[in-house]
Amino acid sequence: MTETAAGTDWRAWQESWDRQQEWYMPDREERFRVMLDMVEAVVGPEPRVLDLACGTGSITDRLVRRFPAATSTGVDLDPALLAIARGYFAGDERVSFVTADLADPGWTRLLPYGSYDAVLTATALHWLPVGPLTTLYGQLAGLVRDGGVLMNADHMTDLGTPRINAAERAHRHAAMDRAKAAGALDWSDWWDLAAKDPVLAAPTAERFAIYGEHADGDTPSAEWHLRTLRESGFTEARPVWASPSDTVVLALK
């Protein structure tokens, strides 16, 4: 990496983030495909999308490549991941980013639009405890237009199946260990590289001052998410994709 943001290879950082996330979720692309399938099915191929807790803009990247007429607003608080996102999408007028804390009651006032066809988020909201997540779902119900959708792809744990959960976790972690031995970067490895990069070092330090190593949230069941989404103002809600550990829930306004 070079020492100026203008010369930084943002695509390399974007791809590096994707590979690191795939170490945890080898089926990550499949969930993204299903999310975009359902966006097209419900609201069409020219959606206005809110990419919630967007990170480096992984969802937005796939959105605008599949739907060239789509627009996206990415929202996050992480200064390092937003630096990568803004660098990667620089000059793309379809895409904008907002720095906002989802725990701040007034975060929606920072958005450029008052409503969205779709709100999409992946592997992010488990950082929130159930209380703030319930509040957030209520706020999102106010942002999604009538007939629009919210989709959340995340870890959703069924505590009623402890033996199944343990077997799945052991199998998944054995595969992760093999990939790590073959050179895959994990979360800590990736952030170590970012901290050493001349451009990302300062925002990475700021990021860890905000979050610490990792936020402690909750991973309630899919049933909890579906019930809470309905109680928050969505008319229908159900899973549209699931792996042994994760689920994509879709809520229709």
pLDDT over 50 at 150, yes or no: yes
pLDDT of residue 6: 63
Q: What percent of the chain has pLDDT over 70?
A: 97
Contacts (Cβ under 8 Å, ≥6 apart) of 160: none
- In the DSSP assignment, the letter for residue 44 is -
Residue 20 exposure: Cα atoms within 13 Å on the Cβ side: 20
Cβ neighbours around 191 below 10 Å, total: 18
Query: pLDDT tens-digit profile of 67-126?
Result: 999 999 999 999 999 999 999 999 999 999 999 999 999 999 999 999 999 999 999 999
What mean pLDDT do residues 123-137 have? 95
Taking a C-beta distance cutoff of 8 angstroms, is the pair 17, 81 a contact? yes
pLDDT over 80 at 2, yes or no: no
Question: How far is the C-alpha of 240 from the C-alpha of 156, rounded, in Å?
Answer: 13
Nearest to 18 by CA among 88, 71, 108: 88
DSSP string spanning 206-242?
HHHHHH-SS-------HHHHHHHHHHTT-SEEEEEEE
Query: pLDDT tens-digit profile of 32-55?
Result: 999 999 999 999 999 999 999 999
Amino acid at 218: D
Q: What percent of the chain has pLDDT over 90?
A: 94
pTM higher than the cut 0.75 = yes
Name the pLDDT band for 215 (thresholds 50, 70, 90).
low
Nearest to 73 by CA among 6, 140, 156, 27: 140
pLDDT of residue 213: 77
Query: pLDDT tens-digit profile of 4-29?
Result: 566 799 999 999 999 999 999 999 99
**CATH H superfamily, domain 5-252:** Vaccinia Virus protein VP39 (3.40.50.150)
pLDDT over 60 at 1, yes or no: no
Where along the chain do its domains lie? Answer: 5-252
